[in-house]
Amino acid sequence: PKTIYLKDYQAPEYLIDETHLSFELHEDRTLVHARLAMRRNPARGAGLPPLVLDGQQLELLSVVLDDRELGAHEYQVDDSHLTLQPPQAEFVVETRVCIHPESNTALEGLYKSGRMFCTQCEAEGFRKITYYLDRPDVMSRFTTTLSAEQQRYPVLLSNGNPVASGSADNGRHWATWEDPFRKPAYLFALVAGDLWCVEDEFTTMSGRNVALRIYVEPENIDKCQHAMDSLKRSMRWDEEAYGREYDLDIFMIVAVNDFNMGAMENKGLNIFNSSAVLAKAETATDAAHQRVEAIVAHEYFHNWSGNRVTCRDWFQLSLKEGFTVFRDAGFSADMNSATVKRIEDVAYLRTHQFAEDAGPMAHSVRPDSYMEISNFYTLTVYEKGSEVVGMLRTLLGAEGFRQGSDLYFQRHDGQAVTCDDFIKAMEDANGVDLTQFKRWYGQAGTPRLEVAEQYDAKAGTCTLTFRQSCPPTPGQAHKEPLVIPVALALLDGQGRELPLRLAGEGEAAGTSRVLAVNAAEQSFTFEGIPEQPLPSLLRGFSAPVKLVYPYSRDQLMFLMQHDSDGFNRWEAGQQLAVQVLQELVGQHQRGESLVLDRRLLVALKSVLENQSLDQAMVAEMLSLPGEAYLIEISAVADVVAIHAAREFARREIASALYEPLWQRYQANRELSRQSPYVASAEHFARRALQNIALSYLMLSERPEVLAACQDQYQATDNMTERLAALAVLVNSPFEAEKTEALVLFADYFQDDPLVMDQWFGVQAGCPLPGGLERVQALMEHPAFTLKNPNKVRALIGAFANQNHVNFHRADGQGYRFLADQVIMLNALNPQIAARQLAPLTRWRKYDASRQALMKAELERILASGELSGDVYEVVSKSLV
């Protein structure tokens, strides 16, 4: 596969004003007729170069140019293009092709999921449907007609509004949809199936009524209400927070079981992975409910940030994805606890995006090049991209940011634009120069920000010195200083924030402020500081950097108790735990007996006993940093020592804090028993604390806890309690009880694929010895198939990404297993194969023996035969 560079971007030679599509859907083939009204792009001059249409895996039946069928000598076809010579500046091209959705296991283009037809066109799937200019800067008005057998496919959907429909004598029927908004091909969608729908209505801020429909297979009709409620909340929130109103008369969501990602924002017809839309108490956990709410919002918000204003080219992907993640995070923060949402997002970013940024596939938020664009739907583009937008908001303030966003949408409505255009709107609305800030889009790697504090008691000044640096990443040896917004406060001995006045300022600008650090080394001196302060730095995680400040354990305990920034209270607890756990890792490596610093127990006890703290915060603060994060922050990760250290700490906590944990558990379990399930922030918090308490308590192996766990497993109306109880049983030594629970669970839920995914996931993540053998046995389970991405993620993904001790077993069998699966997936679904590879690409993190074993598996994949571009790109880059 060849590499595509941002620097080579050129506007399209031709434009497509109108696109008329007609699909004849059959069981053994689909016929696609496309009629494209095209013209020379005036921006590219007057000549008439050949027209080169994209097309892959298409059987070309005919080509018609301005109503005349072309002979085979009048066009050229190869495996990715159709080339012909336009006769004049305006012309109409028609093609007929035959495609095979029934055998499309890559789930890109038109494919069948179960009994339904559906599409996934982003990023470059449309070229697998018909010949087209498949690039986001070619925007066209689409009219789509679908015809299919009426009984099998009573519902026929596409983008926009339904304008006509009818039946034929042969048992087939048809429908025509018209989308009034110009759009790139990646936003095209069609669905045909035997679907039921839940209907509702939304009145927009200007008083228009919009019909809302969620289409699902009949057995799922009782799992749509949460998504529908989430959709209505999203629509209202986008009006209020961003002034964005919905623009069509109908908004549809369709749930499909086989889907490569979470969901897709096709104009007016979002297609969702069923895991991102279906949720009811009995079958979906609180986390799943929150994920549904967030993804429904995310896709809906794309209607403006992505659809009305789209990307010029795929290098600009973060323009829509980073901004939309930022928007959905704001929504989730408003719907639930803002601090807890921030904690979850930061923990995820630091564990996974930081690892990506330090690995062989590291790239900037706006990459410079790619081989296969599907590989760039990454945590860097999405989550770091969102952090970049968040830093802009921190620097410009809420009002300035909103003015910039309003200007962006107004200026670029209906256009395909770049990240530079987004920044320009922010600059123009605020009268600021963001030239240096834009480096965040071009520079890969996680910056390190070292801070030193110096207090001068005589002068009453406190000087903070910041040193920023960024390690080299592939293709970028040298890094320039970034603009890093550092939100901070200085705390006095009672934990109160001191007024902050910088040298040269007349008066203090409040007690919490943002410094824009923009040089490699830079000092800020605060005056009028009466006592040695303790800095609370990078509040709310105001920039995606690794902060280094030499906090003592006592200072961290103080911040845990007193910092007025909730995020930094949690952060202090995490840093304390990291220090303590790293000490245990060292003891384990030296063969010493493990001794836990009691200060961690004291700190956690006071968190547990603090009845005024939000229960969700208590649950977050009780959660030790995960193994994946401890691996990420290690120079050479010793997986076995990390696991042993963390388990030892958990046992120590469980035994020292048994009483308060038991009290908290019982109080919340009692509330769960008394009231029916509610998907609200307050109830999520309650259950989160109840379940983390249970996971500690089970380590005691006391009979009363086992009984409580079994009771929670059986006597509950919701999956949050049931699955948590199952997980602690699975991770416990109670063999008979765990086997019984697993069998009962699978018997009862065997027909619900999403619940079975959770069943696979719990077992795949179990760190007890024999993990690989258990996963291999589960691959034979009738509910498992490599063809379904959710199953692959639930079993193989959970094993390789969460079950560190088993995946990294010293004989390399975990690596061999993953490589075998990637080789099989490569032939079935290249996108999923490439994503599952990620854990092997991180070989540089481990000891020499594991490095060699991991690299050998990557080499084996490379030599395994015909590799897809997706897998080839990841393997070849990670072996450099």
Tokens of 586: 């060292």
CB-based contacts of 496-502 (< 8 A; 24+ apart in sequence): 497/564, 498/526, 498/529, 498/530, 498/533, 499/528, 500/526, 501/526, 501/527, 501/528, 502/526, 502/527
To the nearest 5 percent, what fractions of the chain are helix, strand and coil?
45, 20, 30
Question: Which option in ligand HT7, Zn ion, none does residue 363 bind, with CB closer than 5 to 8 A by kind?
Answer: none
- Candidates 321, 372, 597, 870: give the one binding ligand HT7 (CB under 6 A): 321
For 579, residues 6+ apart whose C-beta sits below 8 A from its C-beta are 553, 556, 597
Site string (307-336) toward Zn ion, x via CB under 5 A: --------------x--x------------
Output 9 or 377, the one with its CB closest to Zn ion.
Answer: 377
Question: Does position 316 bind ligand HT7 by CB under 6 A?
Answer: no
Q: Least distance in Å: CB of 503 to ligand HT7?
A: 46
Output 303 or 821, the one with its CB closest to Zn ion.
Answer: 303
In this structure, the number of other CB atoms found within 10 A of the CB of residue 852 comes to 12
Site string (621-640) toward Zn ion, x via CB under 5 A: --------------------
Output 234 or 712, the one with its CB closest to ligand HT7.
Answer: 234
Contact 75, 82 (CB under 8 A): yes
Question: Which option in Zn ion, ligand HT7, none does residue 377 bind, with CB closer than 5 to 8 A by kind?
Answer: ligand HT7
Q: Least distance in Å: CB of 859 to ligand HT7?
A: 27
Question: Does position 571 bind ligand HT7 by CB under 6 A?
Answer: no
Pick out residues in 779-838 that bind ligand HT7 (CB under 6 A): 831
Q: What angle do CA 808, 814, 818 make, to 5 degrees?
A: 120
Pick out residues in 165-194 that bind ligand HT7 (CB under 6 A): none
Mind giving me the DSSP string for 188-235?
--EEEE--EEEEEEEE-TTS-EEEEEEEE-GGGGGG-HHHHHHHHHHH
Pick out residues in 637-656 that bind ligand HT7 (CB under 6 A): none
Q: 3-state class of 388 per DSSP?
A: helix
In this structure, the number of other CB atoms found within 10 A of the CB of residue 431 comes to 7
- Candidates 13, 238, 293, 299: give the one binding ligand HT7 (CB under 6 A): 299
Q: Least distance in Å: CB of 215 to Zn ion?
A: 20
Question: Does position 298 bind ligand HT7 by CB under 6 A?
Answer: yes
Output 107 or 766, the one with its CB closest to ligand HT7.
Answer: 107
Output 321 or 857, the one with its CB closest to ligand HT7.
Answer: 321
Residues 372, 385: Cα–Cα separation, whole Å: 19
Output 336 or 375, the one with its CB closest to ligand HT7.
Answer: 375
Dihedral, CA atoms, 114, 116, 117, 119, nearest 10 degrees? Answer: -70
Count of chain residues binding ligand HT7 (CB under 6 A): 15
Question: Which option in Zn ion, ligand HT7, none does residue 290 bind, with CB closer than 5 to 8 A by kind?
Answer: none
Question: Which option in ligand HT7, Zn ion, none does residue 372 bind, with CB closer than 5 to 8 A by kind?
Answer: none
Residues 604, 573: Cα–Cα separation, whole Å: 8
Asked if 299 is an active-site residue, the reply is yes
Site string (254-273) toward ligand HT7, x via CB under 6 A: ------xx-xxx--------
Tell me the residue nearest to ligand HT7 as measured from the CB: 261
CB neighbour burial string for 554-573, b if at least 16 within 10 angstroms, e if fewer = ebbbbbbebbebbbbbbbbb
| Strand ranges (E), 518-638 | 521-527, 534-536, 546-548
Strands 310-311, 416-417: pairing kind: parallel
- Candidates 377, 409, 455, 658: give the one binding ligand HT7 (CB under 6 A): 377
Q: Least distance in Å: CB of 515 to ligand HT7?
A: 33
Question: Which option in Zn ion, ligand HT7, none does residue 831 bind, with CB closer than 5 to 8 A by kind?
Answer: ligand HT7
Contact 202, 249 (CB under 8 A): no
Question: Which option in Zn ion, ligand HT7, none does residue 122 bind, with CB closer than 5 to 8 A by kind?
Answer: ligand HT7
Q: Least distance in Å: CB of 298 to Zn ion?
A: 5
Question: Which option in Zn ion, ligand HT7, none does residue 264 bind, with CB closer than 5 to 8 A by kind?
Answer: ligand HT7
Count of chain residues binding Zn ion (CB under 5 A): 2
**Catalytic one among 265, 299, 427, 627?**
299
Pick out residues in 827-856 that bind ligand HT7 (CB under 6 A): 831
Site string (690-729) toward Zn ion, x via CB under 5 A: ----------------------------------------
Q: Least distance in Å: CB of 236 to Zn ion?
A: 20
Output 321 or 638, the one with its CB closest to Zn ion.
Answer: 321
User: ω into residue 123 within 30 of 0, thus cis?
Assistant: yes
Pick out residues in 108-147 that bind ligand HT7 (CB under 6 A): 120, 122-123
Q: Which residues pair with 546 in a beta bridge?
A: 448
Output 123 or 692, the one with its CB closest to Zn ion.
Answer: 123
Contact 88, 81 (CB under 8 A): no
Output 138 or 572, the one with its CB closest to ligand HT7.
Answer: 138
What's the Cα-to-Cα distance from 825 to each of 67, 119, 523, 799, 831, rounded to whole Å? 43, 20, 53, 16, 9
For 711, residues 6+ apart whose C-beta sits below 8 A from its C-beta are none
Q: Least distance in Å: CB of 124 to Zn ion?
A: 16
Contact 354, 348 (CB under 8 A): no
Of the candidates 47, 129, 59, the residue with the CA atom closest to the CA atom of residue 88: 47
Tokens of 644: 């042993």
Residues 117, 671: Cα–Cα separation, whole Å: 45
Output 318 or 712, the one with its CB closest to Zn ion.
Answer: 318
Q: Least distance in Å: CB of 508 to ligand HT7?
A: 43
Tokens of 470: 């960024």
Contact 769, 640 (CB under 8 A): no
Provide the annotated active-site residues.
299
The contact set with ligand HT7 (CB under 6 A) reads 120, 122-123, 260-261, 263-265, 298-299, 302, 321, 374, 377, 831
The contact set with Zn ion (CB under 5 A) reads 321, 324
